[in-house]
Amino acid sequence: MVTVAWRGKPIWILRRTPEVLNSLKAISVLLADPDSKVESQQPPYASNVHRSIKPEFLVVVGLCTHLGCVPLTRFAVGALSGLGDDWPGGYFCPCHGSKFDLAGRVFKNVPAPTNLVVPPHHYAWDTVIEIGVHEQPT
Ligand code: FES
């Protein structure tokens, strides 16, 4: 994962393994909005199970949707994370205990009301992401 700044906000760009991508559907039952139905939280081109243009790369605003703190990475899976045996890896906001998965989707029964925000973005080239400009329809 790398963090870049956009409009004073941290933007996380996370490269996900095929194993992580395969696990995203399996944990849907634990999530408040697994299918990204809240339209304000991502552009239409990121309204999919991986919440991204290219499945491998997640691009999200790294601010908790509760009160705007910066969550911590908790990439370790299971008990090693300190978040329980069933923790699939993701982000943890210690302020009030909100949890997000590796697609920025919020868990059920936490203070944060919605998934992390996917900002407008597109691939200017295959290896260059431009933040703040929507993907153009083809
Ligand atoms: S600011 Fe993240 S849980 Fe409250």
pLDDT in tens, 8-44: 999 999 999 999 999 999 999 999 999 999 999 999 9
Domain edges within the chain: 2-131
- What is the pTM assigned to this prediction? 0.95
Q: 132 CA distance to ligand 1 centroid (A)?
A: 25
CA distance 98 to 90: 11
2-131: CATH architecture:
3-layer Sandwich (2.102)
pLDDT in tens, 81-118: 999 999 999 999 999 999 999 999 999 999 999 999 99
Find out whether the beta carbon of 108 lies less than 6 Å from any atom of ligand 1.
no
- Ligand 1 pocket mutation pick from 63, 70, 93 by most atoms within 8 angstroms of CB: 93
Q: What are phi and psi of 23, to 5 degrees?
A: -80, -15
Find out whether the beta carbon of 112 lies less than 6 Å from any atom of ligand 1.
yes
